[in-house]
Amino acid sequence: MAAGTYTGKTAVYRARRRPAARRRPAARRGNSRIRWDRVGRIALTFVLAAVLYSYLNPAINFVKTYTATSDAKAQLHELLDENARLHRRIQSADDPIALNGKARNQGMIAPGETPIVIRGLKP
């Protein structure tokens, strides 16, 4: 009578309730059709591709900025060379020898010189 209890004169036998047994998961009966290791690798590959894609636009902008900076530096050096050349022209414009040479090229004569005109010469 260990499984039940006896109550009084009449033989009433009540079964003692046992707590419900916990169910254990059933053992697998074969290989799963889903290969979780492969799914994990594919998911990781997609995440890596997304991260690389997110770095693509800033990398392109960096290359464009670098080339634009190189072009700007080259243009700056050209403009500095032209500026130096123009400063030399300004300095030489006040030089009397340079002024005399420019006047002679335009056909002018110095004060006190006698102008001579020769016609009919073929160049």
List helix spans (H) across the chain: 36-93, 96-105
SS3 state of residue 21:
coil
What average pLDDT does the chain have? 84
Which span out of 46-50, 87-91, 100-104, 118-122 was modeled with the highest average pLDDT? 46-50
Q: Report whether pLDDT(65) > 90.
A: yes
Say how far apart CA 9 and CA 52 lie, in whole Å: 84
pTM of the model: 0.40
In this predicted model, which residue has the larger pLDDT, 81 or 9? Answer: 81
Angle, vertex CA 110, rays to CA 108 and CA 115, nearest 5 = 65
* Buried/exposed 30-69: b ≥16 CB within 10 Å, e otherwise: eeeeeeeeeeeeeeeeeeeeeeeeeeeeeeeeeeeeeeee
